[in-house]
Structure 1
């Protein structure tokens, strides 16, 4: 007989066998016991947590020859045939491959017919979030008022993608990630039943790697059994999964803290020689620093650590780090993890990230001294300018060797009469304000609906943020998009999201365009300032300027020296 995967052979057949979802199984059992089950259910939650299994058990419980009962007997003809998938009245549909309106219309047309083999006709629609908008609309009325002999059970990992009109017509049950303790207990039970001798530490590491998904844990256990046979050790799990032992991470974290770049690179080379993945190493290192932070901030945090099997081995490392340093390191590693998804040399990027960690503290220690020197230098310069300004206000500009300069030829220092903050803010927008009604913007606006649709097809989560923006100006190389909401703008500006949008702009507009963003209120304010009259000009004129005898060139040089070339405009009146 062919081997059956563990997650299939050990699929729960009773509510009490579902691991870690007591809040759901108890509610369903009570409703079945009291005959209060409804016509539509929505099971949502992470992958591998029992959604489809619960739906199949529910279909058996309502159709059991001994029921409806709070548990299926799994012995009657109806239960056995539903388990094997041989009952035509229990229909399981994969919405990922049957997502069109025609498939849903087919369901709508057939629900009116009574079941032929069992008591209730049950439709289990898996990954229901994949249905199109038209398909959801076709399902609405049937889902709200189906015939008395029909039960719908919808399962999804992304409930936020379902229309509110669908959710409101169902009883919703949110499945949770299975706890580490429940997973280890289930893995230990299955290992004993399968005749497998497994170390407790090995089962715990399998559970940690599965991230709360029981199916993922069983798949990994099945893979390790194929590799090792009837005995599983902690080292076997590390070899198969590509993981790194916690004591190795302790040595790596200690070398980083001591800024021993040579030792760090040597350890990375050792990991690569063992066939480890740079992406997986970076991910696990982030988890490692997260666990170190938990141990630093919380007493008795051993149960909260995800990757540290034995926190006692990290005693030295905890002394080398403070929480601010760990926060900096996690930010740096998170940046490189995002960049690594698009890198053709992940190992090189990982090594660069490690060297960055080793050098960031040295740079930050040198920064205060450099800043102090710059501050002192700036203070001396400001004091000198203040002294010169005081002299000018009291005595006027110094006399020159020639005749007096005509009054109408006075140089003027152009200084804003009000706060300079708006000018600093809008200076970067000047080039976009000049071309805000140009042909480049017209071309982008003509294609904007296609851009939004293409972004939606590429990644709908980016579309949800990006749709808040509108193009307000464009050049031959860039598009300026204004946002009403700060969160929408900041999310769009994330490197990963921005790269997707710029790729779509290139595909739709036929040329490479950079995405530039601005808040809509700032854009309107900058555009309105452009239409206003020129700003007031403050003219520097010494007392009795006509008799001062100063040359025009002397005045210009003195004004430039005091205020800089950017703020001095020569104007002949």
Structure 2
């Protein structure tokens, strides 16, 4: 006998056989029981969750000849022929291949004719979002006021692509992903009836891989059962699907704790030899550390994820990591996962990400963006309020003196002397250095450890994702920068590469980023940029106490000796100090 795929052989033929959509099933059953069936339905949701199956069961229910209650009998000629697809009055149309206006006009012309084989015509339009705008317009009037003998059932995985005028004329049902428990129970039931020996852990892992789609789960089970001669074990599932056992992730986590880079690289090479892909390994590792963080911070959080099979093992590993380090690990893995899509050598990027995780604890300031190191924090805590005020006053006085010197250009008594000129020229390198810093630099220095900055830093991965969704080319330049400080209305981002900063500063690109900042951070922010090495230099200088100004007394004859003659000043003005040599 020809083999029929499990997902086809076990497709539900009645509402009671469907898994995981109880809210939709009960509503449809009540409508059938009370004869309040609508003329148009919209079924939306992820793939493999039962949209087309529910549409076919509904088509049988409204046309069943022996119907007793809300379920089709599946025994009368109408039910059997609809199940086999032999009734011309119940048509399943694939909108992906029949998306033009001509096909919909043809359908509109046929709708007016009465059904010939069953009581009610039913049109099931699958992937309806693929229809063109003209096709939607042609369908609109018919969908709004169809003949009494016609029912439309629209199915789609992307309801946001449908015009609002179409949605408003249908009863909409959103199909949800089937839960892990419901999928596992259904798989176990099918295995028992098909004579397949399956370990519970294997079925649970298959359900996890299907991402809530029952059809995908049955396809995976069918493939593995064929390979293993109907003996499905956890190890066989891992080997065939390219999955990674939690024990292997536990070894990776322990190697990161021990900072054993040699073992990490060995484990990565082992995964690659087993045929695993670097991007999938990185994605699963991100999920693993996400679960560790959830278990560490939220009581009974093992119920919030379908990936934790052994909560006690996760708790023991989670207790070895600090919360801050777990946050940093998740942030780094998320950043590298975004870059992995554009990597020429994904394995190398995966190895670099793991090595960076090893050094995360040693240099937290580098990876956290703007967290102060322990010695700097201790030094800041040791300063009293009085000392801080005195330091601030001294810094303000020095800044005023520097500003006055730059404005005056070192002019004394209406004529500029050579020593005065050299003194005025002395701050020039500092002035050019200051030109690289953004305005109000002191506010950014003060805000580098603020609570607002910590909030922005934790949401930075969401900001990068938002920029990527808005415009991927802007994301490619913007990802080079990292947030280093926040004020009331601005976010300061430091860049390692000059061209990345300059491209980001272009008005069109900057507008995209500021729009995402407002959307993801909850309030409007200006984007301010600078180079990372300039920021590090400015931060280091702000941490150093100012040097006290030393006053010296000069004898009159020493001061007179330093004065120059007017003709010397004239020569310097004409030729420059570098070309003038003064000899006694």
Contact (CA 8 Å) 1:202, 1:237: kept in 2 or not?
A: yes
Q: Describe the superposition over 1:35-88 as per-residue Cα deviations: whole angstroms up to 9, x where unpaired.
A: 000100000111111000000000010111123851111111111111111111
2:278 matches 1:278:
yes
Q: Which residue of 2 aligns with 1:466?
A: none
Contact (CA 8 Å) 1:122, 1:153: kept in 2 or not?
A: yes
Q: Which residue of 2 aligns with 1:313?
A: 313
Q: CA deviation at 1:491?
A: 6.4
Q: CA deviation at 1:312?
A: 1.8
Contact (CA 8 Å) 2:296, 2:319: kept in 1 or not?
A: no
Contact (CA 8 Å) 1:402, 1:550: kept in 2 or not?
A: no
Q: Which residue of 2 aligns with 1:471?
A: none
Q: Which residue of 1 aligns with 2:482?
A: none
CA shift in 2, pair 1:326/1:550, >3 Å: farther
In the aligned structure 2, how far is the partner of 1:63 from the partner of 1:240? 44
2:472 matches 1:498:
yes
In the aligned structure 2, how far is the partner of 1:146 from the partner of 1:397? 85
CA shift in 2, pair 1:239/1:35, >3 Å: same
Moved more, 50-59 or 247-256: 247-256
Q: Name the TM-score, length of structure 1 as normaliser.
A: 0.70
Q: Which residue of 2 aligns with 1:265?
A: 265
Q: CA deviation at 1:4?
A: 1.2
Contact (CA 8 Å) 1:404, 1:550: kept in 2 or not?
A: no
Q: Which residue of 2 aligns with 1:230?
A: 230
Q: CA deviation at 1:340?
A: 1.7
1:361 match: secondary structure: coil
Q: CA deviation at 1:258?
A: 2.7
CA shift in 2, pair 1:391/1:118, >3 Å: closer
In the aligned structure 2, how far is the partner of 1:388 from the partner of 1:33? 83
In the aligned structure 1, how far is the partner of 2:326 from the partner of 2:55? 44
In the aligned structure 2, how far is the partner of 1:400 from the partner of 1:100? 81
Q: Which residue of 2 aligns with 1:325?
A: 325
Contact (CA 8 Å) 1:61, 1:68: kept in 2 or not?
A: no
CA shift in 2, pair 1:122/1:221, >3 Å: same
Q: Describe the superposition over 1:432-489 as per-residue Cα deviations: whole angstroms up to 9, x where unpaired.
A: xxxxxxxxxxxxxxxxxxxxxxxxxxxxxxxxxxxxxxxxxxxxxxxxxxxxxxxx99
Q: Which residue of 2 aligns with 1:220?
A: 220
Q: Which residue of 2 aligns with 1:254?
A: 254
In the aligned structure 2, how far is the partner of 1:219 from the partner of 1:242? 16
In the aligned structure 2, how far is the partner of 1:330 from the partner of 1:372? 25
In the aligned structure 2, how far is the partner of 1:220 from the partner of 1:520? 42
1:36 match: secondary structure: coil
| Paired residues for 1:47-446 under 5 Å | 47-67=47-67, 69-364=69-364, 368=373, 383=394, 386=397, 404-405=415-416, 424=438
2:112 match: secondary structure: coil
Moved more, 182-191 or 328-337: 328-337
Contact (CA 8 Å) 2:468, 2:474: kept in 1 or not?
A: no
In the aligned structure 1, how far is the partner of 2:33 from the partner of 2:349? 58
Q: Describe the superposition over 1:121-162 as per-residue Cα deviations: whole angstroms up to 9, x where unpaired.
A: 100011111111111111111100000010000011111111
In the aligned structure 2, how far is the partner of 1:272 from the partner of 1:400? 71
1:362 match: secondary structure: coil
Contact (CA 8 Å) 1:400, 1:551: kept in 2 or not?
A: no
In the aligned structure 2, how far is the partner of 1:27 from the partner of 1:135? 30
CA shift in 2, pair 1:265/1:380, >3 Å: farther
Contact (CA 8 Å) 1:206, 1:217: kept in 2 or not?
A: yes
Q: CA deviation at 1:372?
A: 7.3
How many residues are aligned here? Answer: 455
Contact (CA 8 Å) 1:40, 1:170: kept in 2 or not?
A: yes
In the aligned structure 2, how far is the partner of 1:501 from the partner of 1:387? 41
| Paired residues for 1:462-541 under 5 Å | 493-494=467-468, 497-499=471-473, 516=506, 517-519=509-511
Structure 1 segments unaligned to the other structure (5+ residues): 415-419, 427-487, 504-512, 527-548, 555-573
Q: CA deviation at 1:323?
A: 2.4
2:334 match: secondary structure: helix
Q: CA deviation at 1:343?
A: 2.4
Q: CA deviation at 1:551?
A: 9.8
Q: Describe the superposition over 1:492-523 as per-residue Cα deviations: whole angstroms up to 9, x where unpaired.
A: 632893239999xxxxxxxxx96742349999
Higher RCO (C-alpha 8 Å, min separation 6) = 1
Q: Name the TM-score, length of structure 2 as normaliser.
A: 0.69
Q: CA-atom RMSD, angstroms?
A: 4.4
CA shift in 2, pair 1:132/1:502, >3 Å: farther
Q: CA deviation at 1:327?
A: 2.0
Q: CA deviation at 1:314?
A: 2.7
In the aligned structure 2, how far is the partner of 1:274 from the partner of 1:15? 43
In the aligned structure 2, how far is the partner of 1:103 from the partner of 1:398? 81
Q: CA deviation at 1:287?
A: 1.2
Contact (CA 8 Å) 2:292, 2:315: kept in 1 or not?
A: no
